[in-house]
Structures are given as structure tokens and as C-alpha cells.
Structure 1
Amino acid sequence: MNILKKVAIIGGGPTGIGVGRELKEAGITFDLYESEDDFGGVWNSSAECGRTYPSLHLISPKFNTQIPDFPMPESYAQYPRHDKMLEYIRAYALHYGIYDHTYFNSRVISLKPMDGNWQIITENGKKEIYGLVVICNGLQRKPRYPDFAIPGKFSGDIFHTCQYKSPNQLKQKRVLVIGAGNSGCDIAVDAVHHGSAVFHSTRRGYYYQPKFIGGKPTPQWMMELGGKFSSKAETLAYIEQVFRLAGFDGQDYGLLRPDYPLDAAHPIMNSQILYYIGHGDIVSKGEVSRFDDKQIWFKDGSKEEVDVVIYATGYDRDFPFIDSALLEWSSAIPDLFLHSTPRNLDNLLFMGFINAAGGLGDGLKTQGSYVVSYTRAYFGQTDGLKKFLNAKRNDVPDIGQNYFVNSHRHLWEADLWKLLSQMRKYRDMLDEVSESARV
């Protein structure tokens, strides 16, 4: 097998840039393909892949979102606005020379196996062969709707959160938001200021976290609790007590109590939604049962008239450029070892495909160095690679997967610290090779 010792990265969001930086510093030849005219991914407001709106701010604070050796400017707020995040990502790419390795306006439309390598074809006709491909095209690609269509017909406007670009879309409208992710809660709060009425439909209880506790970003405050308590249960009980004292227990606002532990679901970081529910500006509703013109009926028998329905129901991963039959699937997602490495393909990696309660900076370096170790081992066909290939087909590492809520979103959720620890462990396995055998 003649492996071409050249890597392709598909996707110019933060993960693709971070992987590119590590490959460049390791002296490994690579090209990066980005469908838009500049970097940014979901933070690129002007792009099709952009998922921003004017009020959007990070839900992870600056201290653990920034890359440790490339800190955000001092002038940035604790929770930077989306345009500041875009500036930061592009500054990072510029600083580490990733622009020089990137084909912009180059959407990949085909990724096919070819003689032990991969052929990439772009929308603008470029064809190239690579020995290893790293897919970084992001978590938020394809809007997801409820598994079962809501009966009836709605005569108002319906759109997904990915199509929300301006509060003018809500102006003087009666708005129903279906779903309680971070975007859904943000948009419900926006609608308070721009719409004429706001309803928020959720199917279960959620934990709503404030962005600050004790004058610090909440994730930092939680981390600094350290070993203050003798068990995880005591720590979580204390955090819930503090949240309630701060006015962040949904039950105090008539909402359902979550039936899972505080850390068993992706956090909702929003300091405003409970405030507006408490003031009646957002009316909490249960599950929708049917549509009837502009009347929305709910399972409790109540109904409301609305003008706009917004689905905040998440996303599906989307890889339209590769034949899905080439991948192994589990629960409608690719079956990836460590959420990154196909068990049945040795020359393809997927990076950035995890949900985790943590900032970008905590994982970007580890993911990038894992790619470097894998690339060196694969191109060198080392003993470390052979050991790793056996492990990825047989090992079931603990990354906390089974702890989380049983939902589509949490199929990709992981305990960040367990995941990073396992990635380092298997990276070290890949590195089991003499210096003379390195690429």
C-alpha cells in the first residue's frame, strides 16, 4: 500500500484550525478545505454555517475557552460576544500560519477511497489525493426537528434556531419556542424585548445555571470547589443549594424538577430566562400536542394563539461528501472510538464531534496532538499503530458516556476530563516508536 504522506482537513472552524496548527508545528504536510471565504465555522455570521444572532455570547467563560498559549485580549469580557470570538479564532489562525495552508470557497463534495488513500473533490473542481483525512465540519450542520411531526397545520411562520438571525424576525409577534437548549433560551429572552407574547414549550425539567456566582464565572466557581466535599453527591447538593439561593431552581417558578443529576446533561447557561418566567414575560408550557391554524394545543389541554414557532431542537451531524455505507453506525451516528476514530477505517479521523461541559481551550491542544500522534504512527506504520488499531477495535474506554441523559443530543456527550485523559493514554500508545521511525 502506497500511503501518500499528506493530510487533508475538512472544515475551518476552531477545531480544524487547531488541528492545522499542531500538524504545522509537527512538520506534517497538510491542506485545509473551507467552504466559506474565511475561517470561523458557527461563529462566521455571514456564512451559511453561521449560527449567530445579535445577542449571542459564549456560554463557556474566557478563562477556559481561550487557548492557554494564545490568550484572549484583556479587553474581552468574561463571556465574549460572538463577534469577538470570531475575531479571536481568525487571529489564532493568522498567528499560526493556517491561512497559508487553506483553500477557501472550496466546499468538499466528494471524499472517496482510492488505492489506500482518499480522493477529495471540491465544488469548484479541485481534485487531490491524501493519505489521511481529518473531518472537522462541526456539530451544528443540519437542523433537527422532533422525531414525530406535530399533527395539524400551522399557518404562521416556522423556522429553526439556525435560521434566527435578527430579533426583527420576532417584532410584535406572538412567539412559541419549542426546546430548551441554550439557543432556545436565548431566543425566548430576545422575544421578550421584541415580540408581543412569548411561550416556551419544554418536555422535561432542566437545570438553569447562572453565568456568575460569587463574582466569578460559574464554571470557575465550580472548579474552585475542588475537594471541599467528601463526595460528588455532596458537591452537587451544595451547588444546587447555592443555585436555589441565587434564584435558579426551576421548581420555584413552577417548572418540572429534572429527573437526572445536575451534571448529567449539557448545561443551560442563562441568567435571564427564569427572571422573565418569574415576571410572566415568558409563559412556560408543556409539550405541544397539535397545530390548528395559529392555535397551538398543548398536552395539558391548554391552547395559545401564536404567530411564530421556533424549533430549538438541536442538530444532526452531516457528512454529505462521503458514502454513509463506508462508516459503521450506532444509534444513527457514526460509531467512533473516543468520538473521533472510526473502528473500521484507519485513514480517517473525526475531530470536534463531542458535546462536553467545558471550554474550547481545555480540549483543542489534546485533540490536535492526538491527530499528530496518529498521523505519525499511521504514515510510519509503527508498532504503536498496530497496538492502537487492536485497541480501537476491542477497547471500551470510560468517557462517562452512560452517565448522561438518554437523548439524541447526549449521544455525543462525554465527561471532558475522562475523554481527554483517555485521548492522552491512547496518544501515548501511538507514540510507542523509536525516533528513527518517525515521519
Structure 2
Amino acid sequence: MDSTDGGEAEKRPATFVAGPIIIGAGPSGLAAAACLADVGIPSTVLEKSACIASLWQHRTYDRLRLHLPKHFCELPFMPFPQGFPKYPSKQQFVSYLESYAAAFGIRPRFRTEVVVAAFDREVGVWRVRTREGDELVSRWLVVATGENAEPVVPEFQGMGRFAGRVVHTSAYKSGADFEGEKVLVVGCGNSGMEVSLDLCRHGARPHMVVRNTVHVLPREMLGCSTFGMTMTLLRWLPLRVVDQFLCAMGNLMLGDTDRLGLRRPKRGPIELKNLAGKTPVLDVGAMAQIKAGNIKVMQGVKEITKRGARFVDGAEEQFDSIILATGYTSNVHSWLKDGCGMFTREGMAKEQFPGGWKGENGLYCIGFTRRGLLGSSHDALNIAADILLHWRNSLS
């Protein structure tokens, strides 16, 4: 969202809306609207794009599947269809979200970009200005644009002179577009690993840049999902013991990843997730390709050249294309002008899960605690319950 105030559009009379304004029609925004609808509170959902879940529909690769089993990714009050596999595909997840919106009567205002949202202290309301010049007013504002609003595009020395293609994973669809090419994949998170695997399966030659330490774990252990097993163990065992178990199982099933250039952090995967928000990579096949030499692990990039890249270890390689698997970031600070200290400098919730969803003056956020869809469901239920208290008081 742009940081301008929409002044280029003709300002129109403000419109008061009865319930909360929800900004964003991704899974988090839909969950918030559904939970409000369940307690009889209307909401107005504003969405910049032309569809729900635009990140999933337009900025993800074709082979993407949910990394966690479906029962960990359900939104409140509605399970996935019984016929869906354990790890639904991108297309199946989008169809689930479309059914979810229809079931709760959620009809976002599409192509409505918010340029300013600010609290009017004199009146005690939130004023939301759109690029079209409309102004909506409500007592409550729910920020649901999430932690993945805008692609992160790093600036490498010499990037402008590279002769080949440079694409962010938000524009990557399939390895078929890179068949026969030698490709530099910058980033070794879940996206970097999966894109590298996809490139392998379509006859490309990926070289994956690993700048920092990373935990790589099998997606399943002993026939159970790693995530599900972790949640169960944390109920009974100290976090450090669970981390030790996960690392031991990872080494047993995947081998010593340090020897492959994937150095494990000193902190355990769950501790690191809680402290820094770094999610461990759940392997779905890339490790086998790395061991086979089909995915080359490279150290950090020092400089991009006309034909390729130089690396921090002094190596130099030529590449046909570069894919930036460098993730996304929040854009909340570009349009929210009175966040009441709710967000960090990076645009994430200051308070850690299970808090972080409630601010001051009727401000709420959902999907900013790095806890995935489970965290969004938790936030949505809390937001609806809290607004319901104020809603009843206003009617009494």
C-alpha cells in the first residue's frame, strides 16, 4: 500500500460503517470477518486486489502445498472437505477459502486500496481513506494485511548489470519456465528449498545460496507430522528437550546437514522460532537432491556480474537466471498512521503470541505473530469476543 494520502482523488463525504473495518481479505481477514459474523456483528472488508487470498492465488508457485497437515490450517468453524489430502494443494486451499467466504456471507470490497488509516481522537473513531477518495469511519479497525504483504527484494552490488532474468518467487510459477538453465536461487527457507526442488524436476540446474544457519527437519517423523509431534511433546516436556529431540531426529533422518553447507543454528528450532520468528525448513525432497549433487549449495553472494555472481568464498559462476527466494515483509507502517505502539519497526506485533492481537482505541491486528493459520484463528476468535463486549454496551 502506498504511503500517499490519496489527495489526488476527489475527497468525498465520510461514510460511517456500523461494524469494524477489516483491511485485507486473505485468510486472516476472512477468519476475522467470519468470527464477527458468528456473533452477529457486521464488518466491512477492504481488499486492494481483485480477489480473496491474492498472495495464494497470484504470488505463489504452482507446486505449493500446505507445509502443515490440514487440521492445523483450518479457519474457525469450518473444516476442510473430507476428500482433501493431508497436505492440500494451493488450488485446494484457495477453493476452501472461497467456500469459507461464501459460507459466512463475506463480500469484500475488491480493488479498494487503503492509503491512510488514522485514529481521530476528537471523535473517537478510525478514519480510513482509500485511493479512490472514499473515507470510511468506524469505531474499530482490524489490520489483516499480515506479515507477507510485500516482496523483499535485496540490493546486491551489480544487480543492474546482470544480463539474464531476475525474478522474485512472488512471480515464479514453475520450473518449466527455466528448463535447461543454470539458475541461482537466493535464499534457503521453505520457498528457496521448494523452488530449487521444482527446478530440478523440470531439468534446470539450481544453485542455492545459503547465507546464514538454518534448521532443516523432515516434514514427518515416525509417521506423524513434525509440527504435530512438536505440539504434543511441548505439552509434556521442556522446550529445550523437545528441541534436542527434533535435532537428533533431523540428523538421524536427513544426516549431518552441516557437511552439506546447511549449518544448524546453536539455538534449537522451536527456541529460534519463538525468539526470532525463524521457521525451520520442512523438507519435502530437496535434501535428497542436494545429496545427489543436483542442487548445489553456495555461500553468500558478494557481487552480481553481467553473466553470473561472485561469492564470499571467492568462487565465481555463470547463471542464466536469478530467483530471489527472499521472502516478504509487512507494509503496515506505510498506511497506518496511528498504530498506538502496537507494531515493531518491521511491522510485526510487538507482543508475542498469544497476545499481540489487541491495541488501543479499538485497534486490532491478526496474522502478525508468526504463528501461521493457527495463530490467525486464535486472534480472530479473541478479536470477535472483545468487539462483542463493546458492541453490546453500545446497544444497551
* DSSP 3-state at the match of 1:209: strand
Give the aligned partner of residue 115 of structure 2. Answer: 109
Q: 1:271 aligns with which of 275, 279, 284?
A: 284
Q: 2:268 aligns with which of 261, 264, 280?
A: 261
Report the Cα offset of residue 38 of structure 1: 3.1
Give the aligned residue type for 2:221.
I
TM-score normalised to structure 1 length: 0.76
TM-score normalised to structure 2 length: 0.83
* CA distance in 2 between partners of 1:365 and 1:222 (Å): 19
- String of CA shifts for 1:105-159, please: whole Å, max 9, x gaps: 323333344432223333445432211111111221211133x633563222112
Cα RMSD after superposing both structures = 2.7
Give the aligned residue type for 2:289.
Y
Runs ≥4 residues deviating over 6 A:
436-439
Higher RCO structure, 1 or 2 (CA under 8 Å, sep 6+): 2
* CA distance in 2 between partners of 1:327 and 1:195 (Å): 51
Moved more, 313-322 or 294-303: 313-322
Report the Cα offset of residue 235 of structure 1: 2.9
1:8 aligns with 2:21: yes
1:299-378 residue pairs with structure 2 within 5 A? 299-319=312-332, 322=335, 324=337, 328=341, 330-333=344-347, 336-337=350-351, 338-342=355-359, 345-356=360-371, 360=373, 362-378=374-390
* CA distance in 1 between partners of 2:378 and 2:329 (Å): 25
* CA distance in 1 between partners of 2:379 and 2:262 (Å): 38
Relative to structure 1, the CA distance from residue 251 to residue 155 in structure 2 (aligned partners, 3 Å threshold; closer, same or farther) is same
* CA distance in 1 between partners of 2:219 and 2:348 (Å): 33
The gaps in structure 1 that reach 5 residues or longer are 381-435
Give the aligned partner of residue 45 of structure 2. Answer: 32
1:376-395 residue pairs with structure 2 within 5 A? 376-378=388-390
* CA distance in 2 between partners of 1:68 and 1:30 (Å): 16
* CA distance in 2 between partners of 1:183 and 1:299 (Å): 23
1:69-108 residue pairs with structure 2 within 5 A? 69-99=77-107, 102-108=108-114
1:212 aligns with 2:226: no
- String of CA shifts for 1:184-230, please: whole Å, max 9, x gaps: 1111111112353210111122111222222222222333446676x
* DSSP 3-state at the match of 1:103: coil
1:282 aligns with 2:295: yes
* DSSP 3-state at the match of 1:366: helix
Give the aligned residue type for 1:333.
G
Q: 1:295 aligns with which of 293, 308, 323?
A: 308
Report the Cα offset of residue 319 of structure 1: 3.3
CA contact (8 A) 2:299 2:313 kept: yes
Moved more, 33-42 or 79-88: 33-42
Give the aligned partner of residue 157 of structure 2. Answer: 150
Report the Cα offset of residue 277 of structure 1: 0.6
* CA distance in 2 between partners of 1:68 and 1:327 (Å): 28
The gaps in structure 2 that reach 5 residues or longer are 1-15, 273-277
Report the Cα offset of residue 84 of structure 1: 0.5
Relative to structure 1, the CA distance from residue 233 to residue 335 in structure 2 (aligned partners, 3 Å threshold; closer, same or farther) is closer
Identity of aligned residues (%): 24
